[in-house]
Structure 1
């Protein structure tokens, strides 16, 4: 692994580790978001605890945490495997933030952001799927699980070179939703509730 790839991977992880959910809610005079609501440091829980404005800021910031490192790597000319590592590193930073005791969110918005620079058609399919499923189910975790279950298929269609890496990323995201999946099977996952 060359020095430039290491730089981008480490940089992506550090950028991902800046938890906007924790920072923004503190600015809104709310205690640690990880001790509120569902306990998740993500936009959905921020929406529940702090409202739409704070949630929108968090979602945008988390999206950019994934998009900026990958797009920068793309402009630098990194190969697909290197860009894949950058994307995964950004998501790992969000999920296991070094600046916040390695207790972060589930990586949904950051992963969506990381996949955006790869192909706009791919990004459109991902956002469209999330929106359609959420509109029907009204449960953000269901929308995330379905979207990232289909992401490897979309990737194979539009950007096949990234299929393996995206599959690994999706397994990571879905794995972070294991508690949600358990609640869904036990009918305890409520609309507009835990995520």
Structure 2
């Protein structure tokens, strides 16, 4: 348990790296949280600061999730049920970053990085689902939630014996639903932003 804690803290700190905030501040001289949706994530960076910002934030936020899983894997454990705990800590760090006043993003890119490190095939499925839903609906939020739900379904089908892993997948999905609660309200009211905007 003692050797577990440093990696858990490291995962949280990796997740806490406020990519969108830092990019907006040092490249554009703005706090991304004061613009657009107020979210410190890749989608808001894309809409407010442009494609280069959105891509940079997306890539780094994904890497945060990957590292949060890969570093403990090298030194501590290769068990999926253990590694997903570190990944979850990174997502919490992204949502509540200690380095940015606990005002972070919504967790999608970092969650994808966690999934990519844990189950590459599941990550490909999530990416395909995301791309399809965006193509059909133009709603990034709907695509994000659908993709995260597909990971939960994947865990139930491909990993039926790992009950704790499935429970963590469910908790992660519900957490992402919570962070997207305003998006869900806008979707239900038919006023959610589409991408690309008309």
**Alignment: residue pair count:** 193
- Corresponding residue for residue 187 of structure 1: 190
| Contiguous gaps of at least 5 residues in structure 2 | none
| Contiguous gaps of at least 5 residues in structure 1 | none
- Corresponding residue for residue 88 of structure 1: 88
- Corresponding residue for residue 48 of structure 2: 49
Deviations along 1:110-152, one digit per CA (max 9) or x if unpaired, are 0000111112111111111111111111111010111122221
Distance across 2 between alignment mates of 1:4 and 1:133: 41
- Corresponding residue for residue 119 of structure 2: 119
Distance across 1 between alignment mates of 2:51 and 2:134: 17
- Corresponding residue for residue 157 of structure 2: 157
The Cα of 1:76 is off from its aligned counterpart by 2.6
Equivalent residues of 2:125, 2:150 under 8 A apart: no
The Cα of 1:164 is off from its aligned counterpart by 1.4
Change in Cα spacing, 1:159 to 1:73, as seen in structure 2 (3 Å) is farther
Distance across 2 between alignment mates of 1:18 and 1:176: 18
- Corresponding residue for residue 66 of structure 2: 67
Higher mean alpha-carbon deviation, 148-157 vs 16-25, is at 148-157
Deviations along 1:13-50, one digit per CA (max 9) or x if unpaired, are 01100110000111222311000011000001001111
Secondary structure of the 1:28 match is helix
Equivalent residues of 2:21, 2:31 under 8 A apart: yes
RMSD: 1.5
Change in Cα spacing, 1:35 to 1:11, as seen in structure 2 (3 Å) is same
- Corresponding residue for residue 29 of structure 2: 30
Equivalent residues of 2:11, 2:87 under 8 A apart: yes
| TM-score between the two structures when normalised by the length of structure 2 | 0.92
- Corresponding residue for residue 16 of structure 2: 17
Structure 1 stretches (4+) deviating beyond 4 angstroms?
none
